[in-house]
A = this chain, B = another copy of it.
Amino acid sequence: MELSNCAKIFKALSNEQRLKIFIMLYKNCCAPEGAKVGAEFRIKNNSCCPISGTLEKAFTKICDCMKLSRSTISHHFKELQNAGLITCEREGQMYRCKVNKEAIDSIKNFLK
């Protein structure tokens, strides 16, 4: 993996609020079965992953547990997408969000 790509991923995770968002997506979408999730990351209703590895209504859920304006959260989602860490798609009012495990793996492998 390119050095610049790696720096891009690290930059996306360098902001605490954005890292929190990412962890929430990660823990709710892609964490292995039984992985513990800290209370502060617990999403209201705890409804998770009707489609395997994909979080439905991700944006709304994240908004529910962050004290940031929706425009700011939208911005952070864009940054995470931009770094290739997540993929989002809208279908009507449905906002689906998926964590790219390959991106995580490439960070891990980077400093092998």
Chief secondary structure at chain A's binding surface = helix
Residues of B within 8 A of A3 (CB): 16, 19-20, 23
So how many copies of this chain end up in the complex?
2
Q: A17: nearest residue on chain B (CB-CB)?
A: B7
Q: A37: CB under 8 A from chain B?
A: no
Q: Considering the chains assembled together, what is the distance between the CA atoms of A107 and B112 in angstroms?
A: 12
Residues of B within 8 A of A112 (CB): 35
Residues of B within 8 A of A19 (CB): 3, 6-7, 10
Contact status of A111 and B14, CB under 8 A, knowing A3-B20, A6-B19: no
Residues of B within 8 A of A4 (CB): 16
Contact indicator A14/B10 (Cβ below 8 Å): yes
